[in-house]
Amino acid sequence: MQETQDQTPLWQQLQGAATLLLAVRDGRSMTAELERVPPHLRPGVQALGFHALRWLGRAEALRQQLASRPPPPEADALLCVALALASEVDDSLYTEYTLVDQAVEAAKNSEETRHQASFINGCLRRFLRERDAMLAICERKPQAVWNHPQWWVDRVRKDHPDVWQTILVANNSRAPLTLRVNTRQTTQVDYLQTLQDNGIEAAPVGDHGIILGSPRAVTRLPGYAEGHFSVQDAGAQLAAPLLLNGLQASIQPRLRLLDACAAPGGKTAHLLELADADVIALDIDAERCTRVQKNLDRLQLQAQIMVADAGLPDAWWDGQLFDGILLDAPCTASGIVRRHPDVRWLRRPTDIAQLAAQQTRLLEALWPLLRVGGRLLYCTCSVFRAEGEQQIQTFLMHHTDAQLRPSPGHLLPQSKTAGPVFPDNLLRDYDGFYYAVLEKRAA
């Protein structure tokens, strides 16, 4: 784990991380729960919470060895957070003594766990005595080895039999902080120089991206207020160029584009940075649309933002066909668990079919809104084939006016294995996505 700047007592951070784990076990997003954490505690709590969720499978397997019956939920969450830390000796910031002491202190300072302090103390000390034997037992349990639910492991193995282990390992790595340069304001080369002048290690990635050598507070980076960059994974930065490729040369003077599920607005902004276009940014969530507007304002970009269901065009469409449509469809988010480690524990196997049905509905509703010769980019941040390759194969079978153009297909999550930054701008560290470019032909 990387050390945070938070100097608050470790026991308070452990309490906060346990609260995050409780929320996830209750089916709530960790991102939303983090907003409830006091700002001075948030960095440390987030770091510990991310770590606990990345290694939750092993932590739960250890707890099962230490207690035949789980303790009350609050105590169980605190114990699992501590076990996730204690089982990563080489990666821990804390000595064994400090961790046990602060976990017990956290238990004593909460009404819900006060009576479990001795139990937590005994479990942690027993684990430290029997660490090797207990970890060896964990190696026989797939959920403890891969730190994903068993159904998730099985699904990835079925969908990607040759690389399933690589995917699961990448999911447990820490995602880098990757920026996308706003080419309306600066260039990749110039902004890299700005970072270098400020003593910040960074390297180019892709055509518009920059990957930082270590995480930093985004709002404190040079040029943030001026809109010189956005935060966006290198894999996500492929979306706008994929849609625009081939469109700009054939349409003059301005493209008419739709970003159908736009929030939080990263891809909308990238379209506006790369093309002279009239863009409608659509999202069903009014609060998220407000966030799109704020992001565009900072970047000094303009789009028509609408609150509506993209799958019900009769309620919002003016009848004018689009040159290009970007459909970043709702999905399981199975490709971005590096950044959202709670996703794997929140999802259920039935979610895949439900979301695939929603993706089909959106594709069917938006395809008629595209002009002949126009392009629709279908993308999801998923590694599951039901939300990618299988979805598009089915669509093509039922739409003879759709032609699949050269597309990346399933872009599987990758993590760098050595060095703080890359020596070139190849995409070697990115989340998982699926991309398909569909061109509309005359019927």
**Pair (133, 189) in one structural domain:** no
Q: pLDDT tens digits for 48-62? A: 999 999 999 999 999
Q: With cut-offs at 50, 70 and 90, classify the pLDDT of residue 248.
A: low
Q: Is 261 a catalytic residue?
A: no
**The one catalytic residue among 138, 289, 379, 381:** 381
Average pLDDT of span 217-224: 95
**What is the per-residue pLDDT for 53?**
97
C-alpha 134/C-alpha 114 separation (Å) is 27
pLDDT digits (tens, 9 = 90+) for 318-370: 999 999 999 999 999 999 999 999 999 999 999 999 999 999 999 999 999 99
Same structural domain, 271 and 403: yes
* 155 vs 153: CA distance, rounded Å: 6
Do 405 and 364 fall into the same domain? Answer: yes
Q: Do 280 and 342 lie in a common domain?
A: yes
Q: Given 128, 146, 164, which residue is the final one in a domain?
A: 146
How far apart, in whole angstroms, are the C-alpha atoms of residue 331 and residue 383? 10
In a domain, 170, yes or no: no
358 and 377, same domain (yes or no): yes
Across residues 222-244, what is the average pLDDT?
96
Q: What is the pLDDT, as a whole number, of residue 94?
A: 80
- Identify any residues that bridge with 205 across adjacent strands, giving them in sequence order: 209
164 part of a folded domain:
no
Q: Can you give the CATH number for the domain in which 373 is found?
A: 3.40.50.150
CATH number of the domain residue 99 falls in: 1.10.940.10
Say whether both 209 and 317 belong to one domain: no
How does the average pLDDT of the chain come out, rounded? 92
How much is the pLDDT for 91? 58
State the pLDDT at residue 249: 60
pLDDT at 238 over 70: yes
pLDDT of res. 383: 97
Both 255 and 399 in a single domain? yes
The answer to the question of residue 165 being in a domain is no
Give the torsion through C-alpha atoms of 11, 12, 13, 18, to 10 deg.
90
Q: How wide is the angle at C-alpha 186 spanned by C-alphas 245 and 248, nearest 5°?
A: 20
Q: What is the pLDDT of residues 158-182, one digit of tens each?
A: 999 999 999 999 999 999 999 999 9
In this prediction, residues 3-10 reach a mean pLDDT of 64
Q: Is the peptide bond before 39 cis (omega within 30 degrees of 0)?
A: no
**Is residue 3, in this structure, part of any structural domain at all?**
no
Sorting pLDDT into bands at 50, 70 and 90, what band is 250?
low
In a domain, 404, yes or no: yes
What is the number of domains present in the chain? 3
pLDDT of residue 252: 62
Question: Do 304 and 209 lie in a common domain?
Answer: no
Is the pLDDT at 93 greater than 90, yes or no?
no
Domain annotation covers residue 154: no
Residue 151 within any structural domain of the chain: no
Task: Flag whether pLDDT at 239 surpasses 60.
Answer: yes
Q: Is the pLDDT confidence value at 418 over 50? A: no
Confidence of residue 8 (pLDDT cuts 50, 70, 90): confident
What CATH number does residue 186 fall under? 3.30.70.1170
| Rounded distance between C-alpha atoms, residue 229 and residue 208, angstroms | 10
Confidence of residue 422 (pLDDT cuts 50, 70, 90): very low
- Residues 226, 245, single domain; the answer is no
In a domain, 121, yes or no: yes
pLDDT at 268: 98
Detail the DSSP E strand segments found in 248-392: 255-259, 277-283, 304-307, 322-328, 370-380
Residue 245: helix, strand or coil by DSSP?
A: coil
- How confident is the model at residue 253, as a pLDDT? 72
22-47, pLDDT tens digit by residue? 999 999 999 999 999 999 999 999 99
Percent over 90 (pLDDT), the chain: 88
* DSSP assignments along 307-347, one per residue: ES-TT-GGGT--SPPEEEEEEE-----TT-TTT-TTHHHH-
Name which residue leads in pLDDT, 88 or 64: 64
Q: Is pLDDT at 427 greater than 90 in this prediction?
A: no
Whether 385 and 358 map to the same domain: the answer is: yes
Same domain, 352 and 223: no
User: Whole domain around residue 56: which residue ranges?
Assistant: 10-146
> Domain boundary residue among 146, 169, 186?
146
Task: Give the per-residue pLDDT at 95.
Answer: 87
**Domain match, 206 and 278 both:** no
Asked if residues 326 and 377 have their Cβ atoms less than 8 Å apart, the reply is yes
Strand pairing class (277-283; 304-307): parallel
Reported confidence tier of residue 221, pLDDT bands at 50, 70, 90: very high
